[in-house]
């Protein structure tokens, strides 16, 4: 068992128990923005924002061990497994604005694979938090590598950031790409190239 503990693995119990204070804060924020929180259209907004924020950060409460334990099974297959074009939605931690796009995951199994549907759920568990794209990419790769004991893992994420599109530089068509290569995906160019070729094919055809 590797001793290195990846960041973000702890189960967070934020928001458990007691009435939420978020609606009151949103109410006040609306006032500070020059709005009238008592007007018809905004009456329920504080509660809606509270619910939406909790939904968009629900990854804090997801237990990766619980998600993956029991979903792994032994297999003789030793070729690359790829799950590509996984849609993801996250919130940037600098502005709390959405960034979203596609994630491509590949790994080379070491006599053990995970149920394919679990990979998008790992992506989701880490996306639904306040994030930076770089750390999100590393966390997904790190978790899969550690839990699967795979020969290698590759993760590529392509995303649009609303904080870039709606404010600041206002670049509408910019896509940020991050990647994390581990094990043979990092050390063997042939493996890495195969992975990149297989994920590029769809990306270009979309
Ligand atoms: Zn941002």
What distance in angstroms lies between residue 177's CA and the mean position of ligand 1's atoms? 15
CATH architecture of the domain formed by 63-205 = 2-Layer Sandwich (3.30)
Residue 107 to residue 83: CA distance in whole angstroms: 9
Catalytic (active site) residue 131? no
Q: In the chain, list all ranges with CATH 3.30.1130.10.
A: 63-205
pLDDT of residue 16: 54
Catalytic (active site) residue 92? yes
Residue 147 to residue 114: CA distance in whole angstroms: 9
What distance in angstroms lies between residue 94's CA and the mean position of ligand 1's atoms? 5
Catalytic (active site) residue 104? no
Residue 123 to residue 83: CA distance in whole angstroms: 11
Helix (H, G, I), strand (E, B) or coil at 179: strand
Edge-to-edge, what's the strand order for the sheet holding 176-183?
130-131, 81-92, 98-108, 152-161, 176-183
What distance in angstroms lies between residue 206's CA and the mean position of ligand 1's atoms? 26
Catalytic (active site) residue 27? no
pTM across the whole model = 0.86
pLDDT per residue rounded down to tens, the chain (206 residues) = 444 444 443 333 455 557 889 999 999 999 999 999 999 999 999 999 999 999 999 999 999 988 998 888 888 888 999 999 999 999 999 999 999 999 999 999 999 999 999 999 999 999 999 999 999 999 999 999 999 999 999 999 999 999 988 887 777 788 999 999 999 999 999 999 999 999 986 545 44
Residue from 31, 38, 78, 93 carrying the catalytic annotation: 93
pLDDT of residue 17: 59
Token pair belonging to 76: 């003789």
Catalytic (active site) residue 103? no
What distance in angstroms lies between residue 91's CA and the mean position of ligand 1's atoms? 8
Catalytic (active site) residue 133? yes
Catalytic (active site) residue 145? no
pLDDT of residue 168: 74
């Amino acid at each position: 068992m590797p001793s290195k503990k990846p960041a973000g693995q702890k189960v967070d119990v934020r928001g458990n128990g007691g009435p939420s204070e978020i609606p009151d804060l949103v109410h006040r924020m609306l006032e500070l923005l020059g709005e009238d929180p008592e007007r018809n259209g905004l009456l329920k907004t504080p509660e809606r924002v509270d619910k939406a924020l909790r939904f968009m950060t629900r990854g804090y409460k997801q237990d990766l061990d619980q998600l993956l334990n029991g979903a792994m099974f032994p297999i003789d297959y030793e070729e690359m497994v790829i799950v590509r074009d996984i849609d993801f939605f996250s919130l940037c931690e600098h502005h709390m604005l959405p960034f979203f796009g596609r994630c491509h995951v590949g790994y080379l199994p070491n006599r053990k694979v995970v149920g394919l549907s679990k990979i998008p759920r790992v992506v989701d568990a880490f996306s639904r938090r306040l994030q930076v794209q770089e750390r999100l990419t590393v966390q997904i790769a790190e978790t899969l590598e550690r839990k699967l004991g795979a020969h290698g893992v590759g993760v590529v994420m392509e995303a649009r950031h609303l904080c870039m599109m709606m404010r600041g530089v206002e670049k509408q068509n910019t896509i940020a790409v991050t990647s994390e290569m581990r094990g043979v995906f990092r050390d063997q160019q042939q493996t890495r190239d195969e992975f990149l070729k297989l994920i590029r094919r769809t990306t270009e055809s979309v």
